[in-house]
Structures are given as structure tokens and as C-alpha cells.
Structure 1
Amino acid sequence: MSCFQTSASGSWIYPTVILCLFGFFSMMRPSEPFLMPYLSGPDKNLTTEQITNEIFPVWTYSYLALLFPVFVLTDYVRYKPVVLFQGISYIITWLLLLFGQGVKVMQVLEFCYGMVTATEVAYYAYIYSVVSPEHYQKVSGYCRSVTLVAYTLASVLAQLLVSLASLSYFYLNVISLVSVSTAFLFSLFLPMPKKSLFFHAKPSTEAPPKPSEKDAALGGPHKDHNPVCQEQVPVSETPYVVQSRDPKPGNVALRVFVQWLRDLKECYASKHLFYWSLWWALSTAGYNQILNYVQVLWDNKAPSQSSAVYNGAVEAVATFGGAVAALAVGYVKVNWDLLGELALAIFSVVSAGSLFLMHYTTSIWACYAGYLIFKTVYMLLITIAVFQIAVNLSVERYALVFGINTFIALVIQTIITVIVVDRRGLELPVSTQFLVYGSYFAVIAGIFLIRSMYILYSTNCGKKVQSPATSQNPYGPHPEEPKNVMNLRQ
């Protein structure tokens, strides 16, 4: 029975298994690759304009509105209640998807799905409160891998059922409802954590341990219809200590918020972290937007009511390709300090090119290919970005930086949605939207190309200056004083 204990001396197996089962069944949703054909088909009978301009934008707005309060509440109530609430939100979402009718009901559905994605932070943060630090690497790998496997299997199953068994999209949603309901049942068996990262942190005189490179590289988002939140090493050696003897709740909250502001100021003072975070926010905003509207584009290129649909197969291949690309990062030896921004610029050009292809082509297969390239490139780069940010931050500070980066990404995505998609904005056709998104990634590429040229030029000049100085000093350069870890890459 010892493996079912969660004390400091107990095993990590039980909570990890339960959380992985929750993650698997919550992502085993075969209906998701065929959401657009389902909404525009006879079951819901919605027009493309209603779906694009009135329904889908609600997810962006609700996600933005809910992210920060949910982030704070998640830590305050110690994760499990929010995981349970996420399971309930999943069930409500799919009940509305099955039995709801009309634009207003679908907007409520999108709000509920915004709650699902906002509460996703609890899934990733929970495990750090119930297992000891030496198990972080294994647990992170299991939790993230199982969601990718589940999404891939769901996409393959959906394509097989639609193409070979001619199963109605309605019954794909029934399977999804059963799966998310099963996930909720598993969440009931999660142990209740006794501590959390911020509000219920235990006093300590030791800084939390650094995660390994592999653990940090596992920190990217996994969601697909709409991605997204997570954790990891200390800039200062002072750990979070927000509890005192019988502290007043107001005092604890004030201390936490003041500590957050100090930590964020110190973290973003690093130019290296700042620019990687900037790319993260800008690209994630575009990525979320693409995933939210790509099925609308596919339906525009090859209407689902009059042609075969291979959305499930494309999503499965894209997810698998992205996972392989992310895994390959760990085996590539590159000086990311020197060449990181150049890699961001080059791959952002590739992303822009794939989106331009999706706009200009009339072939659905070329459109599919553009999406495969785009998603693979994003998953590759976000893995690198997560590692570059996480490697120098504690678990608490990485949670903060991830939360702020995600929030900024949602603000940018909301601005794009209001201007480009919403009825109150330009209300552009979906094909034209992808021309805008391609231009957006081209601008990102330009920013980081200029930044990378500056870094390479500065490095080259520094070597030229150092070389004659070294040759004039027969005793070699004087040793430097140790630097703060956050200043090493400025």
C-alpha cells in the first residue's frame, strides 16, 4: 500500500498515474479535428460567417479574461479543486456541443472551453506539489507525453471512423463526451496537496533544485484547438517564504504579489530571457489564432459537405511530427546564446511562408502541407524557447514567467481577433486572414533577424578587441568576479 501514499517519504507513482489517466482521457477527443464540419453541417446548420466572426472569437476573449484570476485561484486552493472544475467544464462543453442549438448557445460553449484552457495550469502545476524534486523530470515527461499520445490517437481514430465506417460527426462528439467524463472520474481520486508554489509554500532555508535540461525542454504547451501552463531555477538564492506564524490571509496575499513583482522585474532584466519571452508571446498568439481558424480555411478550400475530409489524419501527422521535432532538440548541439535569435528568425520565415502558401493555394493538399510545416516548426521552437527560459529559473519563477508570457500572448491574440476577425473590426474572409497571419510572422522574422545580426556583429567585434589585448598580456586575462546567473547572457 506504500505506493498509494503521498507523504514526503512516500511514492510518486500513484498521483502520477492518476494525473496521466486524467490527461489521457481529457485529450482523447476524436471530435475535435472535425469541429468545423460538425458545426456547419446538418447537426448545427451554422454559417461560416457565424462560426468565424461570432462564435470562435468568444474563446479568445474568455481565455484572456479568465487566465489571471484562475492562475491566482489555482495556487490558492491548491490545484485539485481547479482540476476537478476543469473536468466539469469539459463535460459542460461537450453537452452543449451535442445538444445545444444556435449562435448564443455556441458562444456559451466557447466560454466554457475558455474555462477549460484557462484551468489547464492546474494540470501541470499539481504534480510539483505532491512529488519530491528528484522525480520532476520523469513526471513532467509522463504528463506531457501522454497528452500528445492521446491527441494523436484520437485524431487517427476519428479519421478511421469517418473514412472507413462513415460515422456521423455527432457520434464522434458522443465518444469525446464519454472520454472527458472518464477523465473527470479519475480526477476525483487525486490526492489533495498540502502545499502549493506561492500561497501555501512551506518555509525553507534552501533554494529549490535546478531541473535537468531534459526536464526543462519538456515545458511547452500541448493543447491543440487552442494551446497552452507550467513550471521550473533560481535567479536569486532566496526561495519563496510566504508563511509566517499564523499569518493573516491579507498579509500572505500582499507578500505574494509583492514577491511576484520583484521576481518579474529581475527576470525580465535579462535580455536573453526577455527576447526569448518576446518570441514566445508573439508566436503563441499567432499559433493560437491559426489553430482556432485553420478548420474554417480547410472548409473554404474544400467544403466538407461536398468532398472527403482528412482533418483527423492531418492533425495526427502534425502532432506526431511536432513531437519528433521537439524530441530532436535534445540531441542537437547548438550555441543557442549566439545563434538562438538567428534560428528564431529563419524558422519564423518558414512559418510565414507556410501561411502564405495556405492563403494563395487552391489545393487542399497544399493547404494541409502548409499546416504540417507550420505546426512542426512551432513545436520545435517552443521547446527550445521553454528550455532557454526555464534553465535559469526556479519552479516558482518559471510559473510566473510562463503565466505572464501566456497572458501577453492572449492580449496580442485578442487585438488581432478584434481587428481582423470580429464583426466590430474588419471581419475579413478567412483566406485573407491567413494572408494577415503570414505577414504577422514575417514581421516577427524581421525583428529577430535584426536582433541576431546585432548579436553576431557584437560578438565578432568583441573577439577582435579581446584578441590584441590578450596578446599584449603575457599572463593572460585576469579572472573575473562571479556574475549573477541572470546576467550571464545579457
Structure 2
Amino acid sequence: MSLWARLKSSGWAYPTAVLSLYGFFANCRIAEPFLTPYLIGPHKNISEEVVTNYLFPIWTYSYLAFLFPVFLLTDFLRYKLVIMLQGLFLIINYILLCFAVGLPAMTFLQVNYAVVTSTEVAYFSYIYSVIPFENYQRATGYLRSAVLAGYTFGASLGQVLVSLAGVDYFVINAITLGIVITAFLISFWLPMPQRSMFFKGKKAAAVHSQSQQEGPLGEARRPEEPVMDNDGAGSGKEKMEHNGSTGWCSRENVATAGYLLWQSFRESYSSRHIICWSLWWALATAGYIQVFNYIQLMWDHIEPSATSSIYNGGVESVCSLAGAAAAIAVGHVKVTWAVWGELALGLFSAVGAGAVFLMALTSSIWVCYASYVIFKSCYMLLITITVFQIASNLSMECYALTFGINTFAALSLQTIITVTVVDEAALGLDIVTQFIIYGSYYAVISMLFLMRGTYTACVNRHRPVQKVNKKQVSSVEVISSEHF
């Protein structure tokens, strides 16, 4: 039996292998670290002020508009179709970058890319609908590793092509177009899931309610849930349910989905502990995305790409590896995060704030590069701790909903920052002033969580430390590679 046949006969290895391949090629975008030099250079000839104060904010507004509808659509369409949609829009993205000219085309490009980023939830949710629970940890590790490997390899290859081979930016965008076409073709090989997290129908909803009473994430998959065949088909009874009047797209099922969403929301945000961690998630992610979006403009301000050698791809590769090391370290450091986690959020947020201030005030491109690596590593470390603390106390449905809500809150905050600070219709500040404001924003976050963390540590200092259960131990190993 061939290796491919053995993979298809496995209950989890085949979809995991195909999705990992897709994740690698979809994130191996060698042109991405050089987007700003490409836009403001002779190929697109857009001024730095227009890119900063008009073009990039379009992505923020569009991402916010698409995120929650796409989150619901992803579950409704059962993941695969949305993953294919992401691959298609990635192709359109690089066709526009290669061949479209003019500001209207680049404006549409930002809207198109917002669809790509809003569909990322499908990639990270798909696998849990087609494999048994006991394989969640291994599959998650492979998928996260594929994303990290693709991004790191793409950034490194782009840097080599630009610095050593002197390849033109148009050529690396054309190469990236070929890579994302490969990703799109791979997505056709994914098996079609036969179940959703929320659009389940009455029987599955009753099972869901029973599982909520039994406990959060950690129990094995129940026999009532459909099992995937290798060709993506479920049992005959499940096919009848999906095709009949009580199928997954019926009015009854939509009502059931709404009920499950509400139940999951109540469970997710009934704990002050989870609310606190979710607050940091939303606040810090808003600032992180803002810095990530505009860092290439800061680099170009300090050392213009038109007259200097740039190392954007190399820096992003180092950031990915440093962030991975920081996140993996969380799984091996024995700390009672329930006691000391909030204080760690405050301390490392303060380090991140200092790094952002340094980016704004330095005139050395290498100091700016190093500060960005420190900032991104701190965020990767803290988001890993945060996700672990939230996911270890919630069911998979609740975690998925919390992920969506927290991301939506982060984008809402980022939109407020963009409208106020960046958009030319409001303040339209220059890039240095923007980064000073982002540093101040992170300083406020650090102060809030230093105070909260100090209080939590003092209250719990004399309390007996609760024993961490097995589910939490395995969860941190899974989530250590998340959010790169």
C-alpha cells in the first residue's frame, strides 16, 4: 500500500496532511515583507502618505466588516468551502498586485485581502470537525508548524532573492502568485466535513447541552457525532438529515444555532478570570496589529528602500522563530499562570511598550529591527499564555466563539485607533507620531495589568495552589504553537 493510500485510510492523518500542505503554501508569501516598498516604488508609484493615511486603513475597516459574518458562514458552510474561498481570494490578491495599477485597484486590493484574513478562522477550525478528539493535539501541532514553516521559509526566500539575487519586486510577486495557486489546488483534496459546531440540528444540540453539563473541553468525541469516511461522506442517516427538511440549512437548525451561540456566549463570559484574559487579548491584539501593519512604513521612513538595502524578510523570519521559541517555552516553564499570569501580562506589555517607543525614537534601522523582534516575541509569549488560560476552561464551541468575539473586539479597537490617529479624514498623523501613540497605548495596558496582577498575586499568595488537571497540561502543549 502506498503512503498516500495509508494516509487516506487513516481517520486523521489524511485531512491533517492535506491541510498542513495548504497552510504551508498559503502562508509562503515571499512578497509580503516587501509590500510597502513595492507600493511606494516605481511599480505602483503611490506616495507614502497615501499608503499610510488612506490605503492601509481600508483593510482595517473591511476586515472588521467581514470578520463576524465570515465566522458564522464558516460554520454554516462547514469549513472546506471557506478554505477554498480563501485560496481563490489569495490568487486574486496577487493578480492585482502583479497587473493592476492605480489607486482604485489598490483600494480594492485591501478589501480583497480583508476577505483573506477574515477566513483564517476556517483553517484553524476545520480539522476539529473531521478527526477524533484524541488526535486534536497532534493535528494542531502539525497545522501550526505548517503555518510557521511556510511564513518563515517565504520571508527567508524573499530576502535571499532580493538581497543576493537582486530579483525585482514584480518577479517575487509573480512567484508568490504561483505558490498561492498551488495552495488553492491543494484545497480541493480536503474531505468535506459532515458536522458543524453550531449548525447541528436538534439531536446534536441536545448532545451539546449534555456535554456542557458533563464538563468543558477534554471529553472524548461522543458516539452520536458523525464519523468521517475517507471520501468525506457520513452515515446514511446523517446524509438524510442533511438533505431533508430538518437539514443543516433549515430554519429550525438556524434557530438551534442561535441558541447554541447564546449558551456558548454565557458559558464563555460567566467567569471574571476569562473576562480579564479576554480583555488583555482584545487590547493587546489591537495594538499589535496596528504595529504589524505599519512597521514597514517605519522602516522605510528610517532607511528609504529606494536608496538602501532592506532586510524586511530576514527580520520577519527572525521574528517568527523568536516568537515560536517564546511560545514553546510557555509549555516547559512551571509557573502557576492563574496566580502570576496577569502580572506577566503587565511586565511583558511594559517591555513591548518600551520596544515600540524605541522604534519611534531611534534613527538606526538595526535598533528598529531589534526592537520589533522584541515586541513581537513578547506578544507571542503573552498571547500563548492567554489562549491557554481561556481554552483550558472552555469547551471547543465556547473557545471558538470566544476567539471570534475577542478578535472582533480587537479589530473594533484597532478601527477606532485607525480612524482617530491614521485616517486622513481625522488626525492623519505621520508614522513617527503614530508609533509614539502606540507605545503610550501599550504603556496604559501594562499599567492596568501590573495593578491587576499585583492584586491577584497578593490575594492568592497564601491560598493553596490547585492541582492542574491533565487537560490543562495537554492544552498548553497544543496552544504553544498558536497565533504566529
Alpha-carbon offset, residue 194 of structure 1 = 1.1
Does residue 81 of structure 2 align to residue 96 of structure 1? Answer: no
Structure 2 match to 1:394: 395
Does residue 381 of structure 2 align to residue 377 of structure 1? Answer: no
Structure 1 match to 2:468: none
Q: Deviations over 1:293-348 (max 9, x none)?
A: 00000000000001110111111101110001111111000111111110000000
Q: Matched residues in 1 for 2:300 and 2:94: separation? A: 22
Does residue 441 of structure 2 align to residue 440 of structure 1? Answer: yes
User: How many residue pairs were aligned?
Assistant: 438
Q: Matched residues in 2 for 1:173 and 1:233: separation? A: 43
Structure 2 match to 1:290: 291
Q: Deviations over 1:257-289 (max 9, x none)?
A: 232223212321211111111101111111111
Aligned to 1:78, the other structure's residue is in SS state coil
Runs of 4+ in structure 1 displaced over 2 angstroms? 1-6, 200-211, 243-248, 456-460
Q: Matched residues in 1 for 2:97 and 2:305: separation? A: 18
Q: Deviations over 1:425-446 (max 9, x none)?
A: 1100011100000000001001
Alpha-carbon offset, residue 200 of structure 1 = 3.1
Q: 1:57 to 1:240 in 2, by over 3 A?
A: farther
Corresponding letter in the other structure for 1:442? A
Q: Matched residues in 2 for 1:188 and 1:431: separation? A: 45
Corresponding letter in the other structure for 1:300? H
Q: Matched residues in 2 for 1:309 and 1:380: separation? A: 27
Corresponding letter in the other structure for 1:116? V
Aligned to 2:190, the other structure's residue is in SS state coil
Q: TM-score, normalised by structure 1?
A: 0.85
Unaligned regions of 5+ residues in structure 1, if any?
212-231, 467-484, 486-490
Q: Matched residues in 2 for 1:69 and 1:386: separation? A: 23
Structure 2 match to 1:312: 313
Q: Does the Cα contact within 8 Å between 2:52 and 2:422 map onto a contact in 1?
A: yes
Structure 2 match to 1:64: 64
Q: Matched residues in 1 for 2:404 and 2:367: separation? A: 35
Q: Does the Cα contact within 8 Å between 1:198 and 1:240 map onto a contact in 2?
A: no
Structure 1 match to 2:303: 302
Q: Which moved more, 1:265-274 or 1:65-74?
A: 265-274
Corresponding letter in the other structure for 1:207? S
Does residue 211 of structure 2 align to residue 207 of structure 1? Answer: yes
Does residue 336 of structure 2 align to residue 335 of structure 1? Answer: yes
Q: Deviations over 1:210-242 (max 9, x none)?
A: 89xxxxxxxxxxxxxxxxxxxx658xx9x999x
Alpha-carbon offset, residue 3 of structure 1 = 3.6
Alpha-carbon offset, residue 255 of structure 1 = 2.2
Structure 2 match to 1:247: 246
Corresponding letter in the other structure for 2:90? Y
Structure 1 match to 2:178: 178
Structure 2 match to 1:408: 409
Q: Does the Cα contact within 8 Å between 1:78 and 1:196 map onto a contact in 2?
A: yes
Structure 2 match to 1:159: 159
Aligned to 1:207, the other structure's residue is in SS state helix
Structure 1 match to 2:229: none
Structure 2 match to 1:36: 36
Q: Matched residues in 2 for 1:450 and 1:233: separation? A: 33
Corresponding letter in the other structure for 1:247? T
Alpha-carbon offset, residue 4 of structure 1 = 5.2
Aligned to 1:157, the other structure's residue is in SS state helix
Corresponding letter in the other structure for 2:384? T
Alpha-carbon offset, residue 197 of structure 1 = 1.2
Q: Matched residues in 1 for 2:315 and 2:307: separation? A: 19
Percent pairwise identity: 51
Corresponding letter in the other structure for 1:42? P
Q: 1:425 to 1:233 in 2, by over 3 A?
A: farther
Structure 2 match to 1:454: 455
Q: Matched residues in 2 for 1:316 and 1:286: separation? A: 21
Q: Does the Cα contact within 8 Å between 1:76 and 1:200 map onto a contact in 2?
A: no
Corresponding letter in the other structure for 2:246? P
